[in-house]
Amino acid sequence: MDKKTELIIDKLHSDRSLTEEEYAYLIEHRDEESTCRLASLAVAAREQVYGRDVFIRGLIEISNYCKNDCFYCGIRRSNKDCERYRLGEDEILRCCEEGYDLGFRTFVLQGGEDAFYTDERLCGIIRTIKERFPECAVTLSLGERSKESYRRLYEAGADRYLLRHETADEKHYASLHPSELTLENRMRCLKDLQEIGYQTGCGFMVGSPGQTVKELAKDLRWIETFKPAMCGIGPFIPHKATRYADMKPGSVELTCYLLSVIRLIQPNILLPATTALATLDDKGQEKGILAGANVIMPNLSPMEARSKYRLYDNKAYSGTEAAQNVEDLKRRMEEIGYKVVTNRGDIKGN
């Protein structure tokens, strides 16, 4: 590690803020020493806020119908080889029941942008979940909607909303999405969600097509100002039915490095070690936790749904990412000195 990298890390640690150029330098000078230094500072920062607790969220993939056509995504509407499904209210509730018994106190309803899920339907489902499981948090991850819609869902009881910003750079955003999708609207959604009162999550893929150090530096700067409650980052993984079929997947090591940086930007942030990390590396989620992540989102979807909710090739769904293997997950976290806890796992001190 050179002197400048060392100084930049010190500055990040003390100020929780860097310039775009400094973020870029830090990423370009990633080596063993800078990785270790960032990880140990990140782990200490997290420990001060959350101790060694790992929060778990039960992920329920409610639909893989999607009206969007994001160029990188396996469930994009123009993928005719994707077998579509959606879960009904009763099936979603059964997932929650199973999850509750396994110790989950947050349910994440995630899906493509599926017009079937009107505000009315979703509000009904959210109210029922909150009635049956009053001490549980409901997180939604259902894409772009109007502010009015976000407000109705919040009033029905939803607590959190995940919507990755994907990239903070306008041109890069336009290269990954068809023209009807804009960064401007994405940011509008994120701002609306925060204003309404959701614990709001953003995020991006690492190694997405066309991404360079510059785009990553911009993402980090943007996260500084947005102050999300959560941030989901995971390596890009190609899907065979997309134009990026032959691209290399993103780097697990760079993802972990960025997890450490984000932890230092915002010590109380909720940071998942994502399924994409587990997909590329058997120990990917452990590596994520050891770099500063503190959330794992095991899959509670019915088995048939899981194999169809395929955002990218080889998506893991039967190892520790399966909610049914939560005992296995607990053991794996214990092995690295962490503890899976059963509570809502809200953001602290916001």
Taking the least distance from each CB to ligand 5AD, the nearer of 232 and 267 is 232
Please tell me whether residue 164 binds ligand 5AD under the rule CB under 6 A: yes
Q: Tokens standing for 268? A: 């109380």
What minimum distance in Å lies between the beta carbon of 164 and ligand 5AD?
Answer: 4
CA 43/CA 292 separation, integer angstroms: 5
Taking the least distance from each CB to ligand 5AD, the nearer of 234 and 292 is 234
- Per-residue string for binding with ligand 5AD, 275-294, x by CB under 6 A? -x------------------
Q: Name the one range near ligand 5AD by CB under 6 A: 32-40, 216-224, 234-242, 289-297.
A: 234-242
**Which 73-102 residues touch ligand 5AD, going by CB under 6 A?**
73
Taking the least distance from each CB to ligand 5AD, the nearer of 9 and 323 is 323
Among 236, 257, 309, 317, binds ligand 5AD (CB under 6 A): 236
Please tell me whether residue 311 binds ligand 5AD under the rule CB under 6 A: yes
Check: CB of residue 128 under 8 Å from CB of residue 89: yes
Please tell me whether residue 62 binds ligand 5AD under the rule CB under 6 A: no
Spell out the alpha helix ranges (H) of 52-143: 89-102, 119-132
Instruction: Name beta bridge partners: 340.
Output: 54
Name the strands in the sheet holding 53-56, side by side, starting at the edge strand that comes first in the sequence: 295-296, 53-56, 339-341
Among 66, 92, 205, 216, binds ligand 5AD (CB under 6 A): 205
Please tell me whether residue 9 binds ligand 5AD under the rule CB under 6 A: no
CA 173/CA 72 separation, integer angstroms: 12
CA 79/CA 311 separation, integer angstroms: 11
Report the residue count for the chain: 350
Please tell me whether residue 50 binds ligand 5AD under the rule CB under 6 A: no
Give the number of other Cβ atoms within 10 Å of residue 226's Cβ.
17
One-character DSSP codes across 28-44: HT--HHHHHHHHHHHHH
What minimum distance in Å lies between the beta carbon of 249 and ligand 5AD?
Answer: 8
Count of residues touching ligand 5AD (by CB under 6 A) = 12
Burial class (CB in 10 A: 0-12, 13-18, 19+), 66: buried
What number of H helices and E strands is found in the chain?
Answer: 14, 9
Please tell me whether residue 237 binds ligand 5AD under the rule CB under 6 A: yes
Q: Element (H or E) spanning 154, and its range?
A: helix 147-155
Taking the least distance from each CB to ligand 5AD, the nearer of 74 and 345 is 74
In the complex, which residues of this chain contact ligand 5AD (CB under 6 A)? 72-73, 164, 166, 205, 234, 236-237, 239, 276, 311-312
